[in-house]
A = this chain, B = another copy of it.
Amino acid sequence: MKLRVDLLPHGGYSDTVLVVDILRATTTAVAYLERGASALLLTRSPDVALALRDTTNAEGDTVRNERYLLGGERGGLPIPGFDFGNSPVEAAGQNFTQREVVMNTTNGTGAAHIAATSGKHVLLASLVNAHAAARRARALAVEEIAIVCAGTDERVSLEDVYAAGVLAEYLLAMGEFTIDDGARIALTLRRNLGNPLEALSSSSHGVYLERLGLGDDVRWAARISESTIVPTLEAQQGREGVLRFVAG
């Protein structure tokens, strides 16, 4: 079995993909499902998200479909018209039973769309569900597990690579893998950057979120393997530009 870690989304995935954007999209995704959401819809753009929720009736009024709640951010800040930011702490304080959360974020949703272009199995991974995500990937994969770090605006994010190292460590404990340079780099970070909170707090985006007053999200994201929920891309996909994930 091959283990590949892409420090940025690259494409060309043929088997099982773990998408990692721990600050904060894939962490928040787990929180939504933990709090009862029946599905997550990752959209290609904010407009696609708004169009899912809001339609115009014959009288020209906007009609809101109560099935959907919108969560997302641009550069860490909420998107106008959305119901929620991209905060796992905010999500953990709500009840999403019988709701579907439509997500659009700066980097994570784009990475998921790249993964879904060719990947057979696409899972969302974070530190909070790391062990469950690794175990699921190991069970699904036939020849390759690719861990795909979302990064920030096409540049590598330390926190995603560190999380990839945590996932890689779990996987290596589960069986034999041939690994690539990305995996070697991720494992080196995991083994030398201290505990998760130290690693996340030293990253550029961790520092940025702390400055925005979102330090609680960083601390929430730094807990390892507290959830067994793995957001899993459904085999049957519906609308163009929308990926549907359910709890797996």
Contact = CB atoms under 8 A, between A and B. Distances in A.
A202 B185 CA distance: 11
Interface residues of A, number: 24
Contacts of A156: 6-8, 156, 181-182, 185
A182 B149 CA distance: 13
A229 to B, nearest CB: 28
Contacts of A155: 6, 10, 180-182
A182 B192 CA distance: 15
Interface string A173-191: 0000000111011001101
B193 A181 contact: no
Interface in A136-164: 154-158, 161
Nearest to A203: B181
Nearest to A192: B192
Contacts of A188: 188-189, 192-193
A180 B192 contact: no
A95 interface: no
Nearest to A181: B158
Given A180-B204, A192-B191, A192-B192, A154 B185 contact: no
Contacts of A204: 180-181
Contact of A8 (B8, B180, B193): B8
Contacts of A6: 155-156
Contacts of A8: 7-8, 156
A136 B157 CA distance: 28
Contact of A181 (B154, B157, B180, B185): B157
A126 to B, nearest CB: 18
23 contacts: A6-B155, A6-B156, A7-B7, A7-B8, A8-B8, A10-B155, A155-B181, A156-B156, A156-B181, A156-B182, A156-B185, A157-B181, A158-B181, A158-B185, A161-B185, A181-B203, A181-B204, A181-B205, A184-B202, A185-B185, A188-B192, A191-B192, A192-B192
Interface of A: 6-8, 10, 154-158, 161, 180-182, 184-185, 188-189, 191-193, 202-205
Given A7-B7, A156-B182, A161-B185, 20 more contacts: A6-B156, A7-B8, A7-B156, A10-B154, A155-B180, A155-B182, A156-B156, A156-B185, A158-B181, A158-B184, A180-B204, A181-B203, A181-B204, A184-B203, A185-B185, A185-B189, A188-B188, A188-B192, A188-B193, A191-B192
